[in-house]
Structure 1
Amino acid sequence: MLKPILFLLSFLAVTPAIAQAGNGITIGHTDSVFSKTLNEPRKLWIYVPESNNKDARSPVLYLLDGDDLFLTAASIVSHLGESNSNSVIPDMIIVGIGNTDRTRDLTPTHDPEHKTSGGAEKFTTFIEKELIPYVDNHYPTVPHRVLTGHSFAGLFVMNTVSNHPTLFNSYLALDPSVWWNKMQPLKQIQANIGRQNFGGQKLFIGLSNLNDTAAARKDTTNATIATRSHLGVRDVFQHTSNKSVNFRYKYFPDETHGTLPMPGIYDGLKAIFDFYKRPSFSRIGERGFNADSLLNAHYTNVSKQMGYTILPPESLVSGLAWLCSMRNMPKEQLQYYKLNLTNYPKSVQAHLQLGEYYEQINDKKAAIDYYTKALALQEDRELRNYIKELKGK
Structure 2
Amino acid sequence: MNKILLLAICVFFNVSAFSQIIYEEFNSSKLGESRKLKIQLPRNYDSNKDKVYPIVIVLDGDYLFEPVAGNVDYFSYWEDMPESIVVGIMQGDSRYEDCAYDDNTFMPDEDSAKFFEFIGLELLPYIDGKYRTAKFVIGVGHDFTANFLNYYLFKDPPLFNGYIVLSPDLAPMIDDRIAQRLPSISQKVFYYLATGTDDIKGLMESTEALNTKLVGLKSQTFNYYYDNFENATHYSLVGRGIPNALEKIFSVYRPISKKEYSDVVMKLNTPIHQYLIDKYATIEDLFGLDNPIRVNDYIATATASEKKKQWESLREIASMAQKDYPNTILGDYYMGRYYEENGDPKKAMRTYQAAFDKEEVDFLTIDMLLDRADKIKTDFGY
Please tell me the TM-score bracket, short chain as reference. Answer: 0.5 to 0.7
Q: What's the secondary structure of 1:254's corresponding residue?
A: strand
Q: What's the secondary structure of 2:87's corresponding residue?
A: strand
* Corresponding residue to 2:73 among 78, 95, 98: 78
- State the partner residue of 2:323: 339
Between the two structures, name the one with larger relative contact order (CA 8 Å, sep ≥ 6).
Answer: 1
TM-fit CA distance, 1:56 = 1.1
Query: Using a 3 Å threshold, how does the CA distance of structure 1 residues 289 and 37 change in structure 2: closer, same or farther?
Result: closer
* Corresponding residue to 1:190 among 172, 176, 193: 176
* Corresponding residue to 1:132 among 106, 124, 130: 124
Read off the aligned partner of 2:253 and give its amino acid letter: Y
Tell me, yes or no, if structure 1 residue 208 matches structure 2 residue 196: yes
Q: What's the secondary structure of 1:119's corresponding residue?
A: helix
What are the superposed Cα offsets for residues 335-367 of structure 1, whole Å, 9 maximum, x if unpaired? 5664226xxxxxxxx76999xx9xx96899x99
Cα distance in 1 for residues equivalent to 2:220 and 2:72 = 29
What are the superposed Cα offsets for residues 63-116 of structure 1, whole Å, 9 maximum, x if unpaired? 1112212221122112222x324x3x22221111111511111223369xxxxx
* Corresponding residue to 1:94 among 55, 66, 86: 86
Q: What's the secondary structure of 2:42's corresponding residue?
A: coil
TM-score for the superposition, normalised by structure 2: 0.66
Q: What's the secondary structure of 1:77's corresponding residue?
A: helix
* Corresponding residue to 2:64 among 66, 69, 72: 69
Query: Using a 3 Å threshold, how does the CA distance of structure 1 residues 259 and 118 change in structure 2: closer, same or farther?
Result: farther
What are the superposed Cα offsets for residues 306-354 of structure 1, whole Å, 9 maximum, x if unpaired? 153533356657978999xxxxxxx99985664226xxxxxxxx76999
Cα distance in 1 for residues equivalent to 2:295 and 2:101 = 45
Q: What's the secondary structure of 1:260's corresponding residue?
A: helix
Tell me, yes or no, if structure 1 residue 174 matches structure 2 residue 166: yes
Cα distance in 1 for residues equivalent to 2:91 and 2:99 = 10
Gaps of 5+ in 2: 1-11, 304-314, 334-351, 359-382
Query: Using a 3 Å threshold, how does the CA distance of structure 1 residues 279 and 177 change in structure 2: closer, same or farther?
Result: same
Equivalent residues in 2 for 1:1-393, closer than 5 Å: 25=17, 27-32=19-24, 33-51=26-44, 53-81=48-76, 83-85=77-79, 87=80, 89-100=81-92, 101-109=94-102, 119-162=111-154, 166-178=158-170, 185-191=171-177, 193-195=179-181, 197-199=184-186, 200-210=188-198, 224-240=201-217, 245-280=222-257, 292-304=273-285, 306=286, 308=288, 310-313=290-293, 316=296, 335=319, 338-340=322-324
Query: Percent of pairs identical after alignment?
Result: 23
Read off the aligned partner of 2:161 and give its amino acid letter: N
TM-score for the superposition, normalised by structure 1: 0.64
Query: Using a 3 Å threshold, how does the CA distance of structure 1 residues 233 and 118 change in structure 2: closer, same or farther?
Result: farther
TM-fit CA distance, 1:268 = 1.0
What are the superposed Cα offsets for residues 208-243 of structure 1, whole Å, 9 maximum, x if unpaired? 2236xxxxxxxxxxx843232222222232345677
Read off the aligned partner of 1:232 and give its amino acid letter: A
Any conservation in 1 of the 2:146–2:166 contact (CA below 8 Å)?
yes
Q: What's the secondary structure of 1:90's corresponding residue?
A: coil
Q: What's the secondary structure of 1:205's corresponding residue?
A: strand
Query: Using a 3 Å threshold, how does the CA distance of structure 1 residues 309 and 26 change in structure 2: closer, same or farther?
Result: closer
Q: What's the secondary structure of 2:228's corresponding residue?
A: strand
TM-fit CA distance, 1:164 = 6.4
Any conservation in 2 of the 1:145–1:169 contact (CA below 8 Å)?
yes
Any conservation in 2 of the 1:107–1:155 contact (CA below 8 Å)?
no
Any conservation in 2 of the 1:43–1:97 contact (CA below 8 Å)?
yes
Cα distance in 1 for residues equivalent to 2:257 and 2:160 = 31
Any conservation in 1 of the 2:31–2:115 contact (CA below 8 Å)?
yes
C-alpha RMSD over aligned residues: 4.5
Q: What's the secondary structure of 2:172's corresponding residue?
A: helix
Gaps of 5+ in 1: 1-17, 112-116, 179-184, 212-222, 324-330, 342-349, 368-393
Query: Using a 3 Å threshold, how does the CA distance of structure 1 residues 321 and 56 change in structure 2: closer, same or farther?
Result: farther
